Amino acid sequence: MSSNARSLSAPAAPRPGWPAVPTTARLASYGALVLAAVVLFLAAPSTLSEFRLNLLAKFLTFAIVAIGLDLLWGYTGMLSLGHGVFFGLGAYAWAMYLKLEASAGTLPDFMAWSGLKTLPWFWRPFASPIFAGAMVVVLPMVVAALLGYLVCRSRIKDVYFSLITQALALILSILIVGQQPYTGGTNGITNFSTMFGISLKDVRTQWFLYLATAAALAAVYLLCRWLVTSRLGRLLIAVRDDENRVRFCGYNLTAIKVFVFALSAGIAGLAGALFVPQVGIISPALLGIVPSSEMVIWVAVGGRGTLAGAALGALLVNAAKSGLSESFPDTWQFLLGGLFVGAVLLFPAGIAGFVSQGLSRFPGRRLGDGDAKRSGREEVLHPPAGILPSGSLAGTPGTPSTPVEVTAWQQ
């Protein structure tokens, strides 16, 4: 078979010094990880207090956001500094349903205080939990798709893309504050009492919300894991490493980037919807620049380009934030900042990257996705036949016939 007919999904031969992991050993490690996660999630409701369980459930929603952001940044190379926007859009969509259910057919309290007499037309469909549940994912995806199309079509990338997403977070937070009669303004939307007619204060409801959040986290992780290990995942890594080569091969980069951006936004919106009934409030402060920057910190601390590391980073950073604020209420912000600086200096590849580098020293372990890039060793893959480093045609006298070294794409 010719080199240009080779599939993207065909595994590349390991380089010298990269021993392959037996399939049984890999499955055993994955099975142990899944078993530990199941035991942890099922044991938590019976061992933690109601307050701690609610706190852990909130951290799990942050882990969902981190996985979606890692898919966009770690695997595609698109750093979003405004991901709090999509988290907030999903949260506001579900909060509108919860508020209408709590109002029991009357006008929400903040609208009455602002002088409104009737329910705004765009609020009425959110009385249906089906419509609100759909908007939780659809609304962030539509906003991300529109913004992504305008930005990627103009070939805006790197720091300029990050600044545009950051500006979006600032604009939306100011807009929500200014439209107080319709959004609750600075105070946001709060005072929820029931969901699907069941009291949110019931302990069994809190257990259900925790288990639902844990299940959503597992589903999102498995979806993203399947995605990054597929042919599309290899293409995303290629876009991250050298998008000009991908464009040269004929791929539509705008479509690829818009798809990943929208998918990541939809994941963030789902996390926001799970966050609202457990915390009881959504306000502009939760979708501004500061929360969006914190989301990037979660991924950086956990390990960019490792989905499990991103989720772990979200859990550890927020657990440290909660623990330090309880133990050192006057100085916890300084201590947390010191931990961030120390993590960056000691673990530049994140916690997952540090662990991966440590495991790579043992025999029988092959580097996984993203490890080659972080360790400075790139995978030898073959571009379409006839494309050589000098740009000459294959077979021309005096031109090399060895394959070009590219990163993570194979034709």
Using DSSP, state whether 282 is helix, strand or coil.
Answer: strand
Whether 387 is covered by a domain: the verdict is no
Query: In the block, which residue shows the tokens 């859990």?
Result: 315
Query: In the block, which residue shows the tokens 């995942």?
Result: 233
Residues 302/350, Cβ–Cβ less than 8 Å: yes
pLDDT, one tens digit per residue, over 17-68 is 333 344 454 555 555 566 666 666 777 777 878 888 889 999 999 999 999 9
Average pLDDT score over residue span 133-152: 95
Domain count, the chain: 1
φ, ψ of residue 190 to 5 degrees: the values are -150, -165
pLDDT at 97 over 50: yes
Burial class (CB in 10 A: 0-12, 13-18, 19+), 175: exposed
d(CA 364, CA 202): 50
DSSP letters along 183-229, please?
Answer: H-GGG-EE---EETTEETTSHHHHHHHHHHHHHHHHHHHHHHHHHHT
Q: How confident is the model at residue 252 (pLDDT cuts 50, 70, 90)?
A: very high
d(CA 173, CA 171): 6
Whether 366 is covered by a domain: the verdict is yes
Whether 406 is covered by a domain: the verdict is no
Whether 388 is covered by a domain: the verdict is no
Chain Cα centroid distance, residue 411? 28
Average pLDDT score over residue span 313-328: 87
Average pLDDT score over residue span 244-272: 93
Whether 385 is covered by a domain: the verdict is no
Termini Cα distance of the chain = 12
> Could you list the residue range(s) of the whole structural domain that residue 134 is in?
3-375
Whether 396 is covered by a domain: the verdict is no
For the entire predicted model, the pTM comes to 0.79
- Between residues 361 and 8, the one the model is more confident about: 361
Whether 410 is covered by a domain: the verdict is no
pLDDT of residue 342: 77
User: Could you tell me which residues are beta bridge partners of residue 198?
Assistant: 195
d(CA 110, CA 185): 9
